[in-house]
Amino acid sequence: MWNILKKAHMGGVINAIRLAKNGGFEIMDDAKLILAIYPGGDKNIFAEEIGIFDLGGLLSLFGTMTDPKVKYKEHVLVLEEGENTWSYMTAEPGIIYQAYAPKKSDEHAMVSLKKVKPVKVIVHQDRIKEIDKYASAVKDATRMFIDSKKGIRIGVGSEKETCGVVGLGGEEKLDGRINLPKREFQAILGACEGDVEMELRPDDLPVVLKEKDITFIIHQI
């Protein structure tokens, strides 16, 4: 659970989260650029849906322990390890406004995206590290891009400013260039474990990234 929440936090991009009984969530960042989806485990962890208003604070508590047992009772999360205990007061789920809740008349984001055939690309961990290195080096850039010159490639910056490019190889072709917010895209890649499947669609449709636990949807800018 700790590792899942740490990835969803993305270094501070997601600050509050609403968890289902089995730990699952569908949550957006404040700017509504990212949707993070985790279906939850096979068993219920909590007796009811709960809200975590300060996810960073809860992760700090988790970080003081190696492998704590998690219990929940009467709106309080209890972390226990040996003789050490943390008690964390949860929040009313309804105040977590970033929770993704489409209207009944609206299609779920993933259902809508599946209607358009994507270009699928595997981004290996060594490439993710290279992308992060380039993105961190170009501090003033506000966007990253994906195009298919000489295979799929991911770049940071733009043609009118300092620009770095990491090639992913392959023969896939994109119709045009995909532009993404740098901070959010870099945060997603940094949160992913192992290789990542990336789904790219034409026009202004969002990019989908799937790692072993969480599916991330990030909107173009």
**pLDDT band at 199, cuts 50/70/90?**
very high
**pLDDT band at 110, cuts 50/70/90?**
very high
Query: What is the pLDDT of the chain when averaged over all its residues?
Result: 92
The most confident of 34-38, 61-65, 88-92, 146-150, by mean pLDDT: 34-38
pLDDT tens track for 136-169: 998 889 999 999 988 999 999 876 766 788 888 8
Report whether pLDDT(51) > 70.
yes
8 A C-beta contact, residue 121 and residue 152: yes
Retrieve residue 21's tokens.
């009984």
CA angle at residue 219 from 151 to 107, to 5 degrees? 115
Report yes or no on whether pTM surpasses 0.85.
yes
Instruction: For domain 2-101, say whether CATH 3.70.10.10 is its number.
Output: yes
pLDDT at 182: 95
Which of 69-73, 80-84, 108-112, 131-135 is predicted least confidently?
A: 69-73
Among residues 47, 37, 94, which one has the least CA distance to residue 72? 47
Query: Which CATH architecture describes the domain 113-218?
Result: Roll (3.10)
Among residues 184, 189, 191, which one has the least CA distance to residue 220? 184
**pLDDT band at 2, cuts 50/70/90?**
confident
**What distance in Å separates the CA atoms of residue 98 and residue 10, rounded to the nearest whole number?**
15
Q: Mean pLDDT, to the nearest integer, of 120-149?
A: 92
Where in the chain are the domains?
Answer: 2-101, 113-218
pLDDT at 171: 83
Q: Mean pLDDT, to the nearest integer, of 98-104?
A: 90
pLDDT at 1: 81
Order the strands of the 164-169 sheet from edge to edge: 164-169, 152-156, 143-147, 178-181
